[in-house]
Structure 1
Amino acid sequence: TKDHWSLQVTNNLHYLWIAPLQAVVVIILLWYEIGLSCLAGVAVLLFLLPLQTMFGKLFGSLRSKTAALTDNRIRTMNEVVSGIR
């Protein structure tokens, strides 16, 4: 519902500014610890980000299809139980 969506937005809005800041701090700390090779790890993370987004959308669509099938199953079982009564 709309209230649930707005609650999620308000709870997660601060991640828009803290996530890039945290990433920069981690990269700086890694740079001091292991040097130039930390950029290889950052490159892998940046490469996998679109893949993770794609899988998230795929699983979201599968979850909504599963919910629709579950709703149909529950509706059918309710009709069966009502018919038995």
Structure 2
Amino acid sequence: MLFDRSGRLVALIDFGQACVGDPACDLAFAWLTCGARERDGLRERLELPEDAWLRAAAWALWKALISAPDDVLTKYGRSREAVLSDVADLATG
């Protein structure tokens, strides 16, 4: 939110679509829907830089922790705990 000198709201900036064009946004679903073996298969076939996969893990972490209730994650086929465990394995591994 941007305010003028008198404190009046003059603009609202929404960065919600700042990810458009970044393959990591699409790859996040690989973390939310696939186990490690399936993700490794995708990684071999997609020829994307490692930083895209790291950003995708960060998007999945955000979705698992903040934006998605458990029932939404279940629709993706995995539990919150499975997603968090995979991201933690990436961070420690």
Query: TM-score range with shorter-chain normalisation?
Result: under 0.3
Q: TM-score, normalised by structure 1?
A: 0.25
Whose strand fraction is larger, Structure 1's or Structure 2's?
A: 2
Whose helix fraction is larger, Structure 1's or Structure 2's?
A: 1
Larger C-alpha radius of gyration, 1 or 2? 1
Which structure has more RCO (C-alpha within 8 Å, separation ≥ 6)?
A: 2
